[in-house]
Amino acid sequence: MTHSSYCARSAIVFVALLWSLLAPDATRGQRQMERLGRGLVVLSLGEGKAFVSWRLLGEDADDVAFNVYRATGDAEAVRLNDRPIAQVTSLVDESFDASKSNRYTVRAIIDGAEELGGEADAPFVVPAEATARPYLTVPLQTLAGHTPNDASVGDLDGDGEYEIVLKQEMRPRDNSRRGATGETKLEAYRLDGKLLWRINLGPNIREGAHYTPFLVYDFDGDGRAEVACKTADGTVDGRGKVIGDAQADHRNDNGYVLDGPEFLTIFDGHSGAALSTVDYLPPRGRVASWGDDYGNRVDRFLAAVAYLDGERPSLVMCRGYYTRTVLAAWNWRGGKLERLWTFDSDDGTVGNRAYRGQGNHSLSVGDVDGDGRDEIVYGACAIDDDGSGLYSMGLGHGDALHLSDIDPDRPGLEVFDIHEDVRHEHGAELHDARTGEILWSKSSADVVRGLAMDIDPRHRGYETWAAGGGLRGLWNAKGEQIADRKPRSCNFGIWWDGDLGRELLDRTTISKWDWQEQREAVLLSDRECSSNNGSKATPCLCADILGDWREEVIWRSRDGRELRIYSTTILTNLRLPTLMHDPQYRLSVAWQNVAYNQPTQPGFYLGTDMKVPVRLKIRTTLPQPR
C-alpha cells in the first residue's frame, strides 16, 4: 500500500471516529477528569511560517469549530482562517513575522458564536526573533551534582494547563547493587521555567528507579493536582518542613535502608507542602519474606492511579513482585487519607498464594472486565477493583507489558506480556485482559523487552515484537509472523506524524517503521539531549500534554540545565480529542515513571482502520478555593 492511499483510508474513518470519541455513553458513570484549556502551542518553522496546534477537549460537542487569531507586535489581532476550522486542530501560519513578538489565541465557535474568556482562551506568545525549532525549552534550576530524570505532569495551580514534576537524581543504584546513593529531589516547574517548589526525599529513601515512583493527579477533585509518594525520616517538603526525625540515618554499611519508619505522603501540588503523612503499607516486616535477605527485593515498589469506584481516582501503592506481592489502595478526600483495601499474596486468604511472583517491573490500569471500574494489571495477574484477586496466570515475572485493545476484532482489552527466565513455552504472549486466557504465545526462555503498537497499516490491530530469547520477526495481533525483520527499537512509541499509526521512540530519536522496506526511517533526532535510566534509554516523559491529539516528548539537555518539549509540526487531516481525556491513557501517563518506564496506551484501539471505540463519559471540575 502506498503512503497516499494509506492516508486516504485513514481520512475515511475520521467522521465516525470523532463522533465515537465524543458521543455520550449512558451505560457508564462519569469519571472525574482534569478541566483543561486549549493547550495552544506555536512553533516557528522559519521562512515566514509557524505551526499552530490546539486541543479538542473530551467535553467538546462534535460540531465545535474554531477561529485562530494572531496579533503581531502592537497591531490588532487578525483572524488566520477564512472559515471556521471544523476538521482539524492545527494549521500553518504562512504570514508569520519572526522579527516581532506574536500573540496567538484560539476561540471555540459554539452554536455559531465565539466562546470568549475562560482558561480555554489563554494566549500563546512567541517572542521576537524566536528560533525556528520544533521544541519549547523549560529552564531548570538543577542543583550541583544532580541529573534530571523521570517527569510527570498535572495541573498544579488550576489554570487548565500542565506543570511538570521532575525527579532529580544524584547517585542512583539498582536494588541489586550495594552502595550509598544520593538524596532524590522532586521539583515542580511551570512551562516557562518558574520553579514552584523542591522536595528532598532525604537519605532514607534509596535512590533509583525502583524506590521512588511518584504520582501526580487530582485525587480529591478540587481542580488542582496533588503529588503522592513514599517518604521517610528526613524528607523535607516544599515549604521546608521535615517529615519524621530530621537526624535519623537508617542506611546500613551496604547503603540499604532496612530499618526505620516508612511513610506515604500527599503533597500540595502548588506549594509542595506536605498535606498528610501516614505509615506506608505494607511495612517491610521481615526482609527475607520478599525473596532475599540483603535488601534487594524488599524495596521493589510500584504505584498507580485507578478509578476503583468508576468515578473518582484512588492511589494504589505496591510492594514486591518476585515473591510476596502487596497492593494497598487509598482515597484522598476532604484532607484525609483513607485506606480502602489491601491485597496481600501472603496473608492466608484462600487463593491469594497463586499471586506470588507474578509481577513485572511495571503495571497497567484499566477496566478489563467491563464493569465501569478499574483493575490493576500486575504482570501475569490482575487485581479487581475491590482488592480481590481477579486471576493469576502463573507465568511469572517480566519486564514489560502493554494493556489496550490490541486486537480490535475481538471484544475487550488484551495484554501483551513478556517473561523472564521461564520454564514454560510462553516467553512472549497475548492474553485476554479480563480472564487471563492466553490467546497466542511464542516460546522463549528469557525475553527482556516487548512492544505493542500499530506500525504496519496492512494488518489490522497492533503489531508486536520482542527482544532477547532468540525471538525473531514481527507479529500481527493474531500472533502471525508478518515480517522477517522487526524494528531495532523495542522501547517506546509516540503518535507523531499525521496518520493513525504509531512511531518508534528510542533514546533521543523518533523513527517511522517502513513496512515495505522493513527498516526504520528517522524523523527527528536531538544529539544535544540525553535519555534516562541507562540501557532503558527512556525520555523524561512522552504524553499528549500540548496541542492536538498527538504526543509530545520531553528530553533533558546533556548539561541538565533545561528540558526540551518536542511537539510535532506535521500537518494532519485527522481531528481527535486530547488523549488526556481518555481515562486509561491519562492513567498510563501517571504510572509512566514507575520502575521500568513503559509507553502510554489508550483504552480503545487507536490505529489504522479504527472502528467506533467505547469511550467513558467524563466530568471536569473548576478549581475550588483553598
Report the phi/psi class of residue 190: left, alpha or beta, with left for phi > 0 and alpha for psi in -120 to 50.
beta
Q: Is 411 exposed, middle or buried (0-12, 13-18, 19+ CB in 10 A)?
A: exposed
Question: Strands 65-72 and 49-53, how do they pair?
Answer: unpaired
Q: Are 536 and 596 in contact (CB under 8 A)?
A: yes
Where do the DSSP E strands lie in 437-590? 438-442, 449-453, 463-467, 474-475, 481-483, 492-494, 503-506, 509-514, 519-525, 529-530, 541-543, 552-557, 562-566
Which residue has 499474596 as its cell numbers?
345
For residue 119, the SS3 value is helix
**Per-residue pLDDT tens for 142-184?**
999 999 999 999 999 999 999 999 999 999 999 999 999 999 9
**DSSP β-bridge partners for residue 268:** 226
pLDDT at 24 over 90: no
Name residue 265's amino acid. T
Predicted TM-score (pTM) of the model is 0.94
**Per-residue pLDDT tens for 253-274?**
999 999 999 999 999 999 999 9
For residue 355, the SS3 value is helix
Of 54-63, 202-211, 241-250, which gets the smallest average pLDDT?
A: 54-63
Please, which pLDDT band fits residue 22 given cuts at 50, 70 and 90? very low
H/E segment holding residue 14: helix 14-22
pLDDT at 5 over 70: no
Q: Are 232 and 244 in contact (CB under 8 A)?
A: yes
pLDDT at 477 over 70: yes
Distance between CA atoms of 77 and 80, rounded to whole angstroms?
A: 9
Report the pLDDT value the prediction gives residue 626, as an integer from 0 to 100.
63
Q: Taking the mean position of all CA atoms in its chain, how far away is CA 532?
A: 15
Report the pLDDT value the prediction gives residue 625, as an integer from 0 to 100.
65
H/E segment holding residue 584: helix 583-590
Instruction: Considering only CA atoms, give the Rg of the chain.
Output: 23
Closest CA to 611 of 4, 15, 5: 15
Residue 560 DSSP one-character state = S
**Per-residue pLDDT tens for 29-53?**
799 999 999 999 999 999 999 999 9
Distance between CA atoms of 172 and 177, rounded to whole angstroms?
A: 10
Report the pLDDT value the prediction gives residue 617, as an integer from 0 to 100.
80
State the cell numbers at 294.
540483603
